[in-house]
């Protein structure tokens, strides 16, 4: 599943928007080209309803075996604690640059 997600994530932002998702489904055999089916699948995977599918939403929904899960059900399937916030389902923040190493003074 991770490989499928990353193949669809054409801009490498760790989120799938509708265009990326639709393009990914179009590349399957047989392709899923009916736009209403694509919208149904997309909305069923978009657990928090922000018009983007993140890896936790994608993987958690497949672990549970059916679409239109609650955020809490996906978190539970992934072994997350119930007190996790909605932000934890969002894409991770960009990495921060490392500080320069300390300079030695003599």
pTM, two decimal places: 0.73
Question: Rounded to 5 degrees, what are φ and ψ at 74?
Answer: -65, -45
What does the pLDDT look like over 44-83, one tens digit per residue? 999 999 999 999 999 999 999 999 999 999 989 888 865 5
pLDDT the model gives residue 18: 96
Give the span between the Cα atoms of 59 and 63, in whole angstroms: 6
The predicted structure's pLDDT at residue 87 = 45
List, in sequence order, every residue forming a beta bridge with 53; answer none if it has no partner. Answer: 16
Quick one: average pLDDT of 76-92?
A: 64
Residue 57, φ and ψ in degrees, nearest 5: -65, -45
Residue 48: CB atoms within 10 A of its CB come to 18
Q: What is the pLDDT of residue 84?
A: 46
């Amino acid at each position: 599943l991770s490989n499928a997600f990353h193949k669809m994530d054409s801009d490498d932002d760790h989120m799938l928007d509708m265009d990326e998702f639709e393009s990914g489904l179009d590349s399957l055999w047989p392709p899923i080209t009916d736009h209403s089916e694509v919208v149904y699948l997309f909305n069923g995977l978009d657990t928090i309803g922000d018009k983007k599918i993140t890896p936790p939403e994608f993987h958690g929904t497949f672990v549970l075996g059916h679409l239109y899960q609650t955020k809490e059900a996906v978190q539970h399937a992934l072994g997350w604690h119930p007190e996790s916030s909605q932000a934890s389902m969002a894409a991770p923040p960009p990495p921060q640059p490392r500080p320069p190493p300390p300079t030695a003074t003599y």
